[in-house]
Structure 1
Amino acid sequence: MQRRMLMAAACAMLVGGALAGATAQAQSSPRAAAGPARLRGTLEGVTETGIAMTTRAGAHVTVALSPQLRVALVVAAKIEDIRPNSYIGTAATAPQPDGSLRALEVSVFPPEMRGTGQGHFAWDLGEGSSMTNGTVGSLVGTSGRTMVVNYGSGEKRIVIPDDVPIVSVEPADRAALKPGTRIVVNGQREAGGAVTAATILVGKDGLTPPM
């Protein structure tokens, strides 16, 4: 049960639509409004109550750690891990002329996380980008590089380019917070600008979390 709760929290931070609207501002402006925040970058130092990190934009920031902090590892996976009926999340570019989406990353969730964050909503990996979380209904092509993803209220046809990272998620603890690792922080920004992390994704074995 404890493992399932940890994995639920980890997957929720990957696909949480409630965070999507504020994330671009949170990374780019030190005076961003209070509310949800997402930071991506490299972990530089760790204490009992906080971390220091360098964002991918080059800013040096400190982040407080919630007493209820959740940590998870992002692990390299492969195209064969995506099968019909897999539950996945995928960030994608703006729609192509034919209406299809081009994946920027694909996250394969464990079976117990099926249904987490299901839907299609805006994301913060570029203008017009989106996140789709749902069930793979079919794979098209001999290499399985095009998938139809059903998210309950609709479906999207998503092309997976050869160079797109594919990952899965593993439960972890604070011991995974090691200087030099690539991380994604989800948390809350106060009116004064300070950020408190609720969840942190850590790339395993040098991996940069792609979501």
Structure 2
Amino acid sequence: MIAIVDYGMGNLHSVSRAVERLGYKPTVTANKDSLLQADGIILPGVGAFGDAMEMLRASGLDHVLRTAAERGIPLLGICLGMQLLFHESEEYGIHKGLSLLPGRVVRFAGDSYKVPHMGWNQVTWLQPSSVLTSSLVEGHVYFVHSYYVEVEEATDLIATCPYGGVEVAAIVGRSNVYGMQFHPEKSGELGLQLLRSFLELCHTRVHETP
């Protein structure tokens, strides 16, 4: 079972439909036991970082997600969900994140380019042998965001996208924790292929777990 975290701030329907299209069973849930028993977890997100963390803390889901990550359950953050994986964000003040990956969320300067970063942009694999990108050809995916992650550890960067003079962290990952700044469910065939790679990782883990 693939759990999609329902905390009031995500594109739950579009992500759920994409998972179904790929032949997997999604469950949209805020139930703590269901999340900890899932084969994999997807954390979507739309809105402000501080509001999202407040919702997660109020429901206790922040602790559940940390526990799931510690237990080795594959976790994928999408868009704002990816940003929540990091230490903190400067969006409308300083807010602490889930601290599953080291890094900080900052705003695009926007002096000579449009903010938010919205539309289709080319991604470049920094780790072409990653479980997410292996055998996939680089291409365009769909972004909508005004803030991006300054990743502390270069080894956590799987793919980047140039925008506004910045190499934006497009895909990140360490151990069983992954993030995509773009929307894979809205990114055509490449987006679905990347999402399939994550779902296959979840499936493989289940069959390898004694």
TM-score category of the 2 structures, normalised to the smaller one: under 0.3
Structure having the higher Rg: 1
Higher relative contact order (CA 8 A, sep 6+): 1
Question: TM-score, normalised to structure 2's length?
Answer: 0.25
In proportion to residue count, which structure has more strand? 1
In proportion to residue count, which structure has more helix? 2
